[in-house]
Structure 1
């Protein structure tokens, strides 16, 4: 496994951009998949099964490729921390989706790039952001805020709780975004940065599977209420496509490109999420979303603006 150092990580090229757009589409569908499965599996049990299945897939993948997962390399502490943060992220996501809509969850969850950029700027010298890139983040975030501003004051479709209940769900989305950003910072600022993508992901999935399943059993959620073809397909999508394939690709990208630039592409995910929500969940769609999409794409262009030749090496 190639272990690129900070000095060889570069701004995303066309190949990385294409991969990130595909990943964002996959992640955008994830919220719909989770809500589709919530009727059959309790949230924490669903999250735990998702991580457990993906853990076995990553183990098989690493074994087939001869990638060592259990060799002592000084990453255990950072790996356990990354796994804990990963578990916290999905506790917030799965519980939050029982209190708020998929669209609102997407808005708050994908504030993560902002927190990622702040964390990397503080802890990883090679990830310093220039002024134009900070402006790009602000523009993209303004686009998201515009797209969902009307949703912040409306009742959540399909949820009978009070406005306070919705606010709690929204707050869980923000906490999930912070946990996701913290995980990225841990991966980049510790010895995990020199670890293989498979081992980095294995830490997160294995630790989160233990924590989430333990919580599900402790809270009496480890049971299946109703098994349906849709729930089965949704769980398989989450475990195989999202937690296994897409995360392996994500961590592989982190070893070769600057994380702050990659993370900003995550602003596309809520746009995909709303599109899937319109098509699959009947959520509303407005012209405001189109304006917001232009702002988000413009922000991404600014964040990925060419750097002066002297800064190309690490920024």
Structure 2
């Protein structure tokens, strides 16, 4: 097994790519808010998967990039499972955020690294949860909780508890998908195939779930809403997810997932700059805790 797939510290290139992804995903939170103004949430997620699947397939055909022998390489079944997890995750998250506050929702959603670390510990022999990694994850997540502490104090509405639970479920499904990719035949599959499985399977499931959840089929012609949808489809569900699954196939799943706690930090900054949302007074301390926790997780083993 190549060293890049072992549970050692991430190289600078992988760290740089993960920081870039966290920034892109943080901006996605703003795009979802803008898109929701013109497109119902689950419908928006379904359209995003559909558009991204078409774009990915077209790009692969144009570049003459094949998906490999997907019919006989053992990836079909785990690929379908990953697509179902992907769809249910987004249903849980989009519905959950609508029932609770954004601050509460993002804290519970980004418990995903804990699910990845636990799942990888039991299912991936080379990615065990060491004491240093456990402490690092705890410190980093403590910083995340601190960053959103003021939001946690705010009232979340009558259905906030249900919304919190749905966001926890969304984070667990996100973590389960990551572990599935790492622990199954998908680990050896081409990243484009792994992504295509999730997009192609989730698109019809999400589009079917939208009317079942009572959403109207409404797409606003406003340029802002359409632009937000295109950003999510091409930039997030297309390019960024392909890069993410390539990283998962090469490096430690739990160490990569630990960086995901930075995404809501970038999201809060993007919200402050682009939407004028206020920052908490403890934000600087929270960032320091997150950075220190990630350093503990990625410190080279002695």
2:274 to 280, 284, 287: 280
Aligned partner (choices 259, 273, 283) of residue 265 of structure 1: 259
Give the TM-score, by structure 2 length. Answer: 0.93
3-state DSSP of counterpart to 2:250: coil
Query: Kindly tell me: are residues 266 and 133 of structure 1, through their superposed partners in 2, closer, same or farther at Cα, counting changes over 3 Å?
Result: same
Q: Alignment partner for residue 167 of structure 2, among 173, 176, 179?
A: 173
TM-superposed deviation, 1:222: 5.3
Alignment of 1:216-227 (within 5 A): 216-221=210-215, 223-227=217-221
Deviations 1:52-96 (A, max 9, x none): 011112212332232226631211111111111100111112222
Going from structure 1 to structure 2, the CA distance change for 1:245 and 1:17 (only over 3 Å counts) comes to same
User: Unaligned stretches of 5+ in structure 1?
Assistant: 157-162, 309-315
Paired residues of 1:213 and 1:222 also in contact (CA < 8 A):
no
Q: 1:60 to 1:225 in 2, by over 3 A?
A: closer
2:5 is aligned, of 4, 9, 16, to 9
Aligned to 2:145: 145
In 1: Cα distance, 2:187 partner to 2:219 partner: 41
| Aligned residue pairs, count | 298
Shift of 1:144: 1.0
Any idea what the Cα deviations from partners look like across 1:84-125, whole Å, max 9, x if unmatched? 110011111222232334443322211101110000101110
Pairwise CA RMSD:
1.7
- Which residue is equivalent to 2:222? 228
Deviations 1:159-212 (A, max 9, x none): xxxx23233322222111100000011111111111110000111111100100
Where in structure 2 are there 5+ consecutive unaligned residues? none
Matched, 1:210 2:204: yes
Q: What residue in structure 2 maps to residue 199 of structure 1?
A: 193
Alignment of 1:1-315 (within 5 A): 5=1, 8-10=4-6, 11-63=9-61, 64-68=63-67, 71-72=70-71, 73-155=73-155, 163-221=157-215, 223-308=217-302
Matches of 1:294 and 1:280, distance apart in 2: 23
Partners of 1:116 and 1:185 within 8 A in 2: yes
Deviation at 1:47, TM superposition (A): 0.7
Shift of 1:255: 1.5
TM score, norm. by length of structure 1: 0.89
